Structure 1
Amino acid sequence: MTFRSPFAIPRQLLTGTTSLGGRSAISTRLRCNQRGLATVVPPVTQDATGSKGPTAMVFMNMGGPSTTDEVEDFLSRLFADGDLIPLGRLQSYLGPLIARRRTSKIQKQYADIGGGSPIRKWSEYQCAEMCKLLDKMSPETAPHKPYVAFRYAAPLTETMYEQLFADGFGKGKGGRAVAFTQYPQYSCSTTGSSLNELWKWRNRLEGKRANGGSEPAGTIQWSVIDRWPSHSGLVEAFAQNIEAQLKTYPEEKRDEVVLLFSAHSLPMSVVNRGDPYPAEVAATVHAVMQRLRFKNPYRLCWQSQVGPSAWLGAQTSDTVQEYVKRGQTDLILVPIAFTSDHIETLYELDQEVIHEANNPGVKRAESLNGNPVFIQALADIAHDHLQKGELCSRQMTLRCQGCTSERCLGQKKFFAGQEQASMVI
């Protein structure tokens, strides 16, 4: 079985590389409230008389096309990103070519899951609900204003930044913003790429720091929540969803159900460079199993391998097929690296992996989506970050062992701040 992923690259095209392409025009971003009605984020006023607020809370994620008409633009940006899909020196040529070739097939996939990705809906809902909790938990940094910055789909990073300006942050007014990655486990291909993009637009729109490390007057002061793989609230949300799915099996069989934790794979070239993602995903899995008291056998597997090069395995699709052949037909797939439904869960897992298993015992645990336990976890993580006053985790100051990217070095030094910049190696 071959998954028709948006990342699938024809073998004959894998010969070269690109620089990032153009970006769509800046437009006023609308927020969606709990009922799905568009509402404009109201302007905020900076208060320098004692309050530490307002605080912009910016959810960062890959994003996805909300309609099938947005698929080609989404793919074009995705294949232009050398952090995610390194294509070498011909990337600026190959990226658009691959995007055009893949568009019709990927449009069909999004049509099959309802006409578009639900990731924007869930991201905006999760962020808005988290901010409501934060206003009560941390009144000194309130009001907390929700924003979403997607890497490859609307609202793009530059759109979010312009919205911050429109809402009273920056442009000489200062203010605080927290970049909150919605990849619980850090990878240079995901969180790293989003932070590179945020750093790029910050420099373009607000100016670079002076050689002495000083900021231009009135710029937005950024901090970063860069990873949270074993937070107790995240673990509890995953565990409860697994327990709910286990209850759908006969009681006498529940302890024999195999749990298959599935995360998006990485090229082995990235893994061998020292990317922390595999270890952090494994940490999440272990924490969840510890919460479940290791009652069930389990494995970690990897989905969405693309192209002919070596990727981290074993693959989720192959794992399911092999266990079913061996007679182990009670399996629960757990999307352990995703915070909401999107094409990898709704299409790849539900409509390909589970469909091709052709057995009622193969099921999937519900995604986190609007889970109140998960949203409380987000608020707890953010509250802890705000209380500590840290700019980023100590782990973020350490580059991968094999990293030679000057952009990565510059980005990490920026977000680490003057006091920790010397620690970035």
Structure 2
Amino acid sequence: MSESNQTEPTEILHSDDGPVPFASPASDTNAPYVTTPQDYDAILLAGFGGPEGQDDVIPFLRNVTAGRGIPDERLEEVATHYRHFGGISPINEHNKQLRAAIEAQLRDRDIDLPVYWGNRNWTPYLEDTVQQAADNGHTRLLAIATSAYSSYSSCRQYREDFARALIATGLAGKVTIDKVRQFFDHPGFVTPFREGVEAALQDFADQRLAPEEVRVLFATHSIPTTDAARSGPEKLSLGEGGAYAAQHRAVGGVTMDQLREASPAWAETQWELVYQSRSGPASQPWLEPDVCDRIAELPDEGIKAVVIVPLGFLSDHMEVLWDLDEEAIEAAEEAGLRAVRTQTPGVHPEFVAGLVDLIQERIAAVAPVDRPAMTDLGPWYDVCRPGCCENVRRGFSPAAAGLVP
């Protein structure tokens, strides 16, 4: 949860100067939350993308690391994770399932909106998807990025992807793309994690482990500390790790608070935020502690079991299957700890319903006070604020769904 000396998103209600490029009329007023209802033609589901065979792996990794000058020899080291699973990342299949689930939920609510799906790093590419939508006469798009938190790679880069797609296709000025708010503390996102932790804790209790002998590790992707410090708007002061770390801490905290209310025995079970999937040079500071390093230390603290919660991820893609199911579970075995990795939201009914709630919220321009948010940090903004989530290495590039820069 946010601390008393921090500025909460709902307190920044004024408009900042500056344009909101590529936006619908309802979203170009500079205000953080829309106040005018807006009809949309279609939903745009934006994903990261992943290889779908051994021959795709290196080209895919070249796309991911474009502009960094990383040689194929170094990429091949990362490629071993994908090659372990036949060169196929499950992320595309998960997004197909998510798209179908959103479409079904929209039909159940009598909302007549098609759902298009496009990726940043692999087919179907966003440029092709946006062009297809425009060819079909759909020019007012509402986007859902498959990431719940604020940082460059999990929010602003998707907004830059939207701008790039519109510019590359020549559709800027003809097609608008808005984006639903970051949904890290929406009940539909949090519920699957809470259910997973509850089931794991109960299982360890059934194995006669004392609550204080179990540690809950909420795991998310590590990012460079300089990028983390710039996550979220410039006007927020959320402590070390910026909005990215603060949002994860808040969700972990509210999840455990709910479980402790349900069962006071779990008050003795401690939790912490850990990081995984670091990929930068050793000389560059990244968010810590690493999940495997932390697991190795826990036996000396009297811990006998760990619950590993993939809090930063929507689905069981490669960095869950490899970094947690392989490396973190192996670290637990080496440390003599019992371990379980809990579920990701995937196509959990509450999660899918929550995404469609966000669509309806944006269409109706629901007031912030009436929007569901489980932490003091929410609800997050409809229109990203100035200076939000700068990429330290690249600086600012054109981006949709936010103020310039």
Find out whether 1:290 has 2:257 as its counterpart: yes
Q: By how many angstroms is 1:355 displaced?
A: 1.3
Aligned length: 334
Contact 1:236 1:291 in 2 (8 A): no
Q: By how many angstroms is 1:313 displaced?
A: 0.7
Alignment partner of 1:123 out of 95, 98, 116:
95
Q: By how many angstroms is 1:262 displaced?
A: 0.4
What is the DSSP-based 3-state SS (H/G/I as helix, E as strand, rest coil) of the residue aligned with 1:59? strand
* Larger deviation, residues 372-381 vs 300-309: 372-381
Q: By how many angstroms is 1:327 displaced?
A: 4.0
Q: How does 1:283-362 map to 2 (within 5 A)?
A: 283-293=250-260, 295=266, 296-306=269-279, 307-308=281-282, 309-358=284-333, 359=336, 361-362=338-339
Structure 2 runs not aligned, ≥5 long? 1-37, 233-242, 368-379
Residue 79 of structure 1 is matched in structure 2 by: 65
Residue 401 of structure 2 is matched in structure 1 by: 415
Find out whether 1:190 has 2:154 as its counterpart: yes
Distance 1:264 1:330 in 2: 22
What is the DSSP-based 3-state SS (H/G/I as helix, E as strand, rest coil) of the residue aligned with 1:344? helix
Residue 280 of structure 1 is matched in structure 2 by: 247
Distance 2:290 2:386 in 1: 29
Find out whether 1:200 has 2:200 as its counterpart: no
Contact 1:113 1:347 in 2 (8 A): no
Contact 1:181 1:226 in 2 (8 A): no
Alignment partner of 2:201 out of 246, 253, 267:
246
Taking structure 1 as the reference length, what is the TM-score of the superposition?
Answer: 0.71
Shift of the 260–76 alpha-carbon distance from structure 1 to 2, 3 Å rule, reads same
Contact 1:184 1:228 in 2 (8 A): yes
Contact 1:247 1:254 in 2 (8 A): no
Q: By how many angstroms is 1:314 displaced?
A: 1.0
Distance 2:163 2:132 in 1: 16
Give the letter aligned to residue 64 of structure 2: L
* Larger deviation, residues 71-80 vs 253-262: 253-262
Shift of the 159–266 alpha-carbon distance from structure 1 to 2, 3 Å rule, reads same
Structure 1 runs not aligned, ≥5 long? 1-51, 82-90, 170-174, 209-214
Alignment partner of 1:370 out of 347, 359, 380:
347
Q: By how many angstroms is 1:401 displaced?
A: 8.7
Q: By how many angstroms is 1:75 displaced?
A: 0.8
Residue 264 of structure 1 is matched in structure 2 by: 221
What is the DSSP-based 3-state SS (H/G/I as helix, E as strand, rest coil) of the residue aligned with 2:218? strand
* Larger deviation, residues 246-255 vs 316-325: 246-255
What is the DSSP-based 3-state SS (H/G/I as helix, E as strand, rest coil) of the residue aligned with 1:203? helix
Aligned residues: CA RMSD: 2.7
Distance 1:405 1:56 in 2: 34
Q: How does 1:16-31 map to 2 (within 5 A)?
A: none
Query: What is the percent sequence identity of the aligned residues?
Result: 23
Distance 2:86 2:187 in 1: 33
Q: By how many angstroms is 1:228 displaced?
A: 1.0
Shift of the 404–76 alpha-carbon distance from structure 1 to 2, 3 Å rule, reads closer
Distance 1:121 1:188 in 2: 25
Contact 1:131 1:379 in 2 (8 A): no
Shift of the 189–376 alpha-carbon distance from structure 1 to 2, 3 Å rule, reads same
Residue 385 of structure 2 is matched in structure 1 by: 397
